[in-house]
Amino acid sequence: MANELALKYGCNPNQKPSRIFMKDGAELPITVLCGRPGYINFLDAFNSWQLVKELKEATGLPAAASFKHVSPAGAAVGLPLSDVLRKIYFVDDAELSPLACAYARARGADRMSSYGDFIALSDCCDAETAKLIAREVSDGVIAPDYSDEALEILKSKRKGNYNVIKIDPNYKPAPIEHKDVFGITFEQGRNELAINEELLANVITENKEIPSDAKRDLIISLIALKYTQSNSVCYVKDGQAIGIGAGQQSRIHCTRLAGNKADIWWLRQHEKVLNLPFKEGIRRADRDNAIDVYISDDYEDVIGDDVWAETFTEQPAPLTREEKRAWLNKLTGVALGSDAFFPFGDNIERAHRSGVCYIAQPGGSIRDDHVIDTCNKYNIAMAFTGIRLFHH
């Protein structure tokens, strides 16, 4: 390890010089085992590492995150995958360790957004996880360690230039952090708030039943939000984020964006989508793009385009608006976290359409009564955490 590491450039190629370093002269808590990570790579790596470390501490399960532009595209814990999830995540041919399950869930929930991601793993990267990473398009990975076999697999990716970072899991940053903006230094205490079930004790709706699995999912959503650019909302089901809305100026736009992603995740499990007649040899990314268009309302407008003749053995019949709504009505048991209070009940209306049954949010809006009434209308259980999770 060293005190500093020179980087090729900053956020953009014209921003030079660039480096990461420790101001107090201590050694950096990371070792680059392969590749040459850049400025944005390290921003993603350090944010995502904190997220998976906290997920592991909160749930006791191995965790993984898929980051793009300093926000998670996906985050999950290592629960087993159903046959349907194995298929839509393209891992039905793979051996899956618990950590590999976590990565498959984190990478697979929003495959469009995860394309070219940076990966974080809470545990030592095993060969099963490395094999999944090796066949996806990504920029790099950070983990506390790597098995010998896993490291050899990862070092062979990108002709030996794949970014592999090892981080000291015992590293603890100083309690005060700094950030320079426009030549001016900002200082604040680190957000060391522990996110656990105690934050879910204040259930203020008529329905006060939040089962243990839903509490786990609410905790996952809140930890994910702690490291998502604000404003942000996160939908979680069965141990994985299925829709994250990040960096929106309006809360309802966060809820809509994340809800639309959750809807797409669920629609990908529809029988028509599972049985799309793809030609042999179609790349994963091309399948993802085709599925995204097929699910969208634009599909009927592009039927007959040459690209579809190159993708499918025959033109698939559309998934109609009525079929979509009927399938979406089957989605239920979704947990939703918000990094700040919901100002109006329209957020709850939108969340309900994507199967949300449990909500955790800070509370404190002058319209809390309206938000609570809307939850009661749909028998949604909502906890006021009393804490805000802005991240900038």
Which residues does the annotation mark as catalytic? 68-69, 231, 392
Under 8 Å between Cβ of 73 and 244: yes
Query: What are 310's two structure tokens?
Result: 């190159």
Residue 161 amino acid letter: N
Task: For the chain, give percent helix, strand, coil, nearest 5.
Answer: 40, 20, 40
The reply to whether omega before 376 is within 30° of 0 (cis) is no
Under 8 Å between Cβ of 385 and 222: yes
Edge-first strand listing for the sheet containing 232-237: 30-34, 163-167, 138-143, 117-121, 63-68, 71-77, 240-246, 232-237, 334-338, 356-361, 381-384
Radius of gyration for the alpha carbons in the chain, expressed in angstroms and rounded: 21
Query: DSSP strand E in the chain: where?
Result: 4-7, 18-21, 30-34, 63-68, 71-77, 117-121, 138-143, 163-167, 176-181, 184-189, 232-237, 240-246, 334-338, 356-361, 381-384
Residue 266 amino acid letter: W
The distance of Cα 70 from the centroid of its chain, to the nearest Å, equals: 11
Nearest to 193 by CA among 236, 227, 230: 227
Q: Annotate 301-360 with DSSP letters as a single string.
A: HHTT-HHHHHHBSSPPPP--HHHHHHHHTT---EEEEESS---STHHHHHHHHTTEEEEE
Distance CA 244, CA 50 (A): 18
DSSP-assigned letter for residue 275: T
Q: Are strands 63-68 and 117-121 parallel, antiparallel or unpaired?
A: antiparallel
